[in-house]
């Protein structure tokens, strides 16, 4: 089976990724990818593998992105996949994504659950199909409304359990993106103390289920300055704040310092982002 980007020593690896959603056109995406790759290439410490960067552009960009990123530490992901090969018009088979050089695939994002009717059963089918194709499922989970950390952790644990249909061996091959729905697109991320509390409680439940080292990264208006304030989190899943590649580089610097056991410096100013 595939190697999970966060596996082996997941508790010491830090994942830093970004999705473009549909913000960028084709040419702009390629220009942005070149700048993003520059941020990675100018940080040779990434070659050690203690910080794992990944990027998730739109489907039409994937073939060109795979060529551009060949040999780079920057892993390529996809924003979605179908639940099988076969007669499914308009879907993209996980096997084709793997053939293109995709390493991980985003599944179960809150936008797809809300606007495209993807329920827990469909998410589970996609997770299994992605895993069967040798891809790492990047499972997006998160509570709909802000509340108590204990309730949020219980809700997220049930989402993970459902996504793997109770197969905790399969769960061990996931990367979990904890994205509180109420924080997606907000001006600020969820409070660091809240996120850390939810993830701590979630890890207790995952440990009891037999997957103590499962990578859990935070997403939801994540930006520079957040990562050093979080406890027990395996990295960040960035969105619009990383559409300026300099901000992506700033988070990589924070992750590299944390991986070396240093205290991260004051965050750099966040660049212009799209609303």
Dmax (CA) for the chain in angstroms is 52
Q: What residues does 51 pair with on adjacent strands?
A: 14
Contacts (Cβ under 8 Å, ≥6 apart) of 264: 227, 228, 253, 254, 257, 258
Name the active-site residue from 109, 118, 143, 161.
109
Name the active-site residue from 106, 143, 161, 179.
179
Q: Does the annotation mark 106 as catalytic?
A: no
Residue with tokens 């702009």: 28
Which structure tokens are listed for 83? 């639940």
Q: Does the annotation mark 179 as catalytic?
A: yes
Cβ proximity of 210 and 168 under 8 Å? yes
Cβ proximity of 77 and 17 under 8 Å? yes
Return the H-helix or E-strand segment holding 78: strand 75-78
Cβ proximity of 183 and 190 under 8 Å? yes
Question: Would you name the residues annotated as active-site residues?
Answer: 109, 179
């Amino acid at each position: 089976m595939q190697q999970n980007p966060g596996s082996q020593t997941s508790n010491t690896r830090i994942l830093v990724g970004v999705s473009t959603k549909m913000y960028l056109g084709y040419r702009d995406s390629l220009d942005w990818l070149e700048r993003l790759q520059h941020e990675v290439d100018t940080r040779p410490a990434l070659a050690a593998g203690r910080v794992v960067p990944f990027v998730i552009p739109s489907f039409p960009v994937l073939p060109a992105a795979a060529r551009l990123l060949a040999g780079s530490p920057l892993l390529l992901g996809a924003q979605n996949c179908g639940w099988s090969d076969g007669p499914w018009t308009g879907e993209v088979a996980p096997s084709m994504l793997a053939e293109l050089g995709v390493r991980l695939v985003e599944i179960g994002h809150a936008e797809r659950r809300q606007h495209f009717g993807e329920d827990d059963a469909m998410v589970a089918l996609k997770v299994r199909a992605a895993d069967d194709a040798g891809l790492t499922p990047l499972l997006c989970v998160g509570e709909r409304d802000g509340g108590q950390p204990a309730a949020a952790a219980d809700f997220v644990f049930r989402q993970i359990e459902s996504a793997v249909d109770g197969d905790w061996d399969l769960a061990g091959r996931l990367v979990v993106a904890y994205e509180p729905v109420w924080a997606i697109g907000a001006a600020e991320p969820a409070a660091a103390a809240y996120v850390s509390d939810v993830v701590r409680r979630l890890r207790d439940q995952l440990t009891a289920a037999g997957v103590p080292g499962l990578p859990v990264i935070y997403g939801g208006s994540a930006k520079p300055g957040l990562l050093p304030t979080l406890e027990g989190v395996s990295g960040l899943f960035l969105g619009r704040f990383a559409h300026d590649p300099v901000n992506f580089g700033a988070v990589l610097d924070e992750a590299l310092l944390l991986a070396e056991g240093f205290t991260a410096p004051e965050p750099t100013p966040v660049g212009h982002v799209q609303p």
